[in-house]
Structure 1
Amino acid sequence: MMHFTKKLAGALLAATLFTTVASAQTVLKSSDTHPDGYPTVEGVKYFGELLKERTQGRYSVDVYHSAQLGEEKDTIEQVRSGVIELNRVSMAPFNGTVKETIVPALPYIFTSEDHMHKVMDGAVGDQIKAAFEPVGLVVLAFYDAGSRSFYNSKKPIKTVADMAGLKFRVIQSDIFVDMTAALGANATPMPYGEVYSSIETGVIDGAENNFPSYDTAKHVEVAKYYSLDEHTILPEVFVMNKAAFDALTPEDQEIFKQAAKDSVAKQRELWAAKTTESRANAEKLGSQINDVEKQGFIDAMKPVYDKHVKDPVLQKLVEDVRAVK
């Protein structure tokens, strides 16, 4: 009954939004947990600029950054039900509802950011996009989120043995919980916005994320040890409520898709610049950044793959990812 209610709400919203005269402006709401100026926020803003230009002002986008509309778990439900039209979120929270998203979230599945780009821009990315539609979402784009590494307030981590007993915040995803456990540490899933105070008060010892998040969320102030284990290179996903997308004319659907595709190049450019800037800023603030014995981390991931890649569809996807050179 709830599923039907959500579908009905989405359809009613779409009807309200899109049965307007061609000259009227429709303002779409988009959510992001990150602060204004962050590369994902700016990527969606750029999408909105292109959309406004290419539809002669009929559509525009208001980006609600800094978790103004809630944390990712909340906004995923908002966009699925049609309360908001657009959302930029991490792919990991979808692991329970879109099984194909498990593969990009696997530790060390990608060998580099360039490898991730080739995979997500190709047939594997298309297959993952298609898997979102049955849950009421259309994927417009995959955005960069760089590589994620562990950081903490206690000590440098150079080997797997150094992880023992430390408590880390992770994304609310079983893969991330199991990955952390496989390394001998304790995982504490919690919303992104609670991480700073939790490290500061000792509820957790650290977290794992990319340099721009480590910098802009000010985690560098409370966790000075950043270790370059680079366990995941997890793309972000920019989604639209399917009922709203389906209510567009075929011509406007193409405009939306092309504007999103064009925003990817812009977002990647912004991401690369921000990563360099944030790493430099972290070092300036006294962060100790160290390399790790990465092969040990990679070897520890076998039980994670054994548990999460039992489905033949996912096994084939893993093979397809690894075949991309």
Structure 2
Amino acid sequence: MLKKVMICLFVLSLAMVPMFANGSQEEKAPVQKNITMRLADNQPDGYPTVVGCKEFARLVKERTNGRITIEVYPSAQLGDAKSVIEQLQFGGIDFTRTSISPLASFSPELDILQMPYLYRDANHYWNVLNGEIGEYFLKSVEKDGFLGLVYVDAGSRSFYNTKKPIYTVADLKGMKIRVQESSLMMGMIKSLGAVPTALAYGDVYSALQTGVIDGAENNWPSYATSAHFEVAKFYSIDQHTRVPEMIVASKINMDKLSTDDQALIKKAAMDSQAVEIAAWAEFEKTSEAKVRAAGCQINTINDQAEFAAAMAPLYQDQLDEQGRIWVEKIKAVK
């Protein structure tokens, strides 16, 4: 009798094993938690890059059914460009939209993409950035703790000054031109025979007004929104640089996500590019109209050959052999 009871209990215990095993598997199944991430931009709300960042955030939220939320912080709320990039590197912030100029301090190879007179026009520029070369440079920052997601538009930069229209290199000779604190940009101004003067952006208006500097260089929207056009009436379109900007992610934080989520975020960033480019084109158009209406003297430098030729020593000094090979590849893109 005891033997029969023992056998029954044993059989019953075997029957219950799958039940408990299934229960255990259900308890161990990963629960997908909601994730909130932060994106920093130093431009004000409504600026084209912020419009693009918000579209990126919208697409991520939509495609994850609200599981991943990206909060966009414009107007440098999370810090200036350099401090935000530093925070990105150790995971204090998840994303930023930045010019490659400050990012090149951490990833020097990026300087190749902002060499003066490198791109023939906007079509050439985007064919480079959205092709194999651009993808290489997006990935090149991984070793420095970043993940490049997508390029965004920031237009082209030209010269403006308080003295006269610029048509030739000789017209720039001796002029004091404000530049960012960058050896590359200072070298460009020197190569054109002008005097580079590094100044904080916020000090440029008064420096133009008081004659501390004769001119500066920037894109249409910056020329308009900074009100520099009020004191520097001559804008000479030479489009000497097109400095790429990126939405960049923290590699530390992205590595915490699943492979699928990382791919989804990358795709959303790429899909947001068209919205930012369209917003930039409209902003550029209204900015140009504003300064023209204010009576500024606008001229176009149709032949850049003389200006580009003056850059030969700069290319030699700033780039190593591999950098010069990349330049030739960029110039060869149709």
Map of 2:174 onto structure 1: 165
Q: What are the equivalent positions in structure 2 for 1:134-213 lying under 5 Å apart?
A: 134-213=143-222
Map of 2:333 onto structure 1: 324
Structure 1: how far apart are the matches of 2:175 and 2:77? 31
Shift of 1:133: 0.7
Quickly say closer, same or farther: Cα 1:25–1:246, change in 2 above 3 A: closer
The 8 Å contact of residues 150 and 209 in structure 1, kept in 2 or not, is answered as yes
Give 3-state SS (helix, strand or coil) of 1:269's partner.
Answer: helix
Alignment-mate amino acid for residue 32 of structure 1: D
Shift of 1:23: 4.1
* 2:272 paired residue among 263, 284, 287: 263
The 8 Å contact of residues 158 and 219 in structure 2, kept in 1 or not, is answered as yes
Moved more, 293-302 or 123-132: 293-302
Map of 2:138 onto structure 1: 129
Shift of 1:127: 1.4
Unaligned runs of 5+ in 2: 1-29
Shift of 1:129: 1.3
Q: What are the equivalent positions in structure 2 for 1:165-314 lying under 5 Å apart?
A: 165-292=174-301, 293-309=303-319, 311-314=320-323
Map of 1:60 onto structure 2: 69
Structure 2: how far apart are the matches of 1:191 and 1:21? 49
Shift of 1:139: 0.5
Question: Percent sequence identity over matched residues?
Answer: 44
Structure 2: how far apart are the matches of 1:133 and 1:320? 22
Aligned residues: 304
Shift of 1:21: 5.9
Map of 1:6 onto structure 2: none
Map of 1:8 onto structure 2: none
Structure 1: how far apart are the matches of 2:68 and 2:200? 32
Alignment-mate amino acid for residue 331 of structure 2: R
Shift of 1:138: 0.5
Map of 1:11 onto structure 2: none
* 2:107 paired residue among 98, 101, 109: 98
Structure 2: how far apart are the matches of 1:193 and 1:49? 32
Quickly say closer, same or farther: Cα 1:190–1:63, change in 2 above 3 A: farther
The 8 Å contact of residues 152 and 206 in structure 1, kept in 2 or not, is answered as yes
When normalised by structure 1's length, the TM-score is 0.87
The 8 Å contact of residues 113 and 243 in structure 2, kept in 1 or not, is answered as yes
Alignment-mate amino acid for residue 285 of structure 1: A
The 8 Å contact of residues 89 and 252 in structure 2, kept in 1 or not, is answered as no
Quickly say closer, same or farther: Cα 1:323–1:171, change in 2 above 3 A: same
When normalised by structure 2's length, the TM-score is 0.85
CA offset digits 1:218-272 (Å, max 9, x no partner):
2222322111111012211111111011111111101100010001111111111
Map of 1:10 onto structure 2: none
Structure 2: how far apart are the matches of 1:286 and 1:158? 19
Quickly say closer, same or farther: Cα 1:58–1:278, change in 2 above 3 A: same
Alignment-mate amino acid for residue 268 of structure 1: I
Structure 1: how far apart are the matches of 2:198 and 2:145? 26
The 8 Å contact of residues 92 and 171 in structure 1, kept in 2 or not, is answered as no
Quickly say closer, same or farther: Cα 1:192–1:259, change in 2 above 3 A: farther
The 8 Å contact of residues 112 and 233 in structure 1, kept in 2 or not, is answered as no
* 2:98 paired residue among 66, 85, 89: 89
Structure 2: how far apart are the matches of 1:92 and 1:33? 14
Shift of 1:190: 3.6
The 8 Å contact of residues 93 and 171 in structure 1, kept in 2 or not, is answered as no
RMSD value, Cα: 1.9
Shift of 1:58: 2.1
The 8 Å contact of residues 166 and 236 in structure 2, kept in 1 or not, is answered as yes
Alignment-mate amino acid for residue 169 of structure 1: R
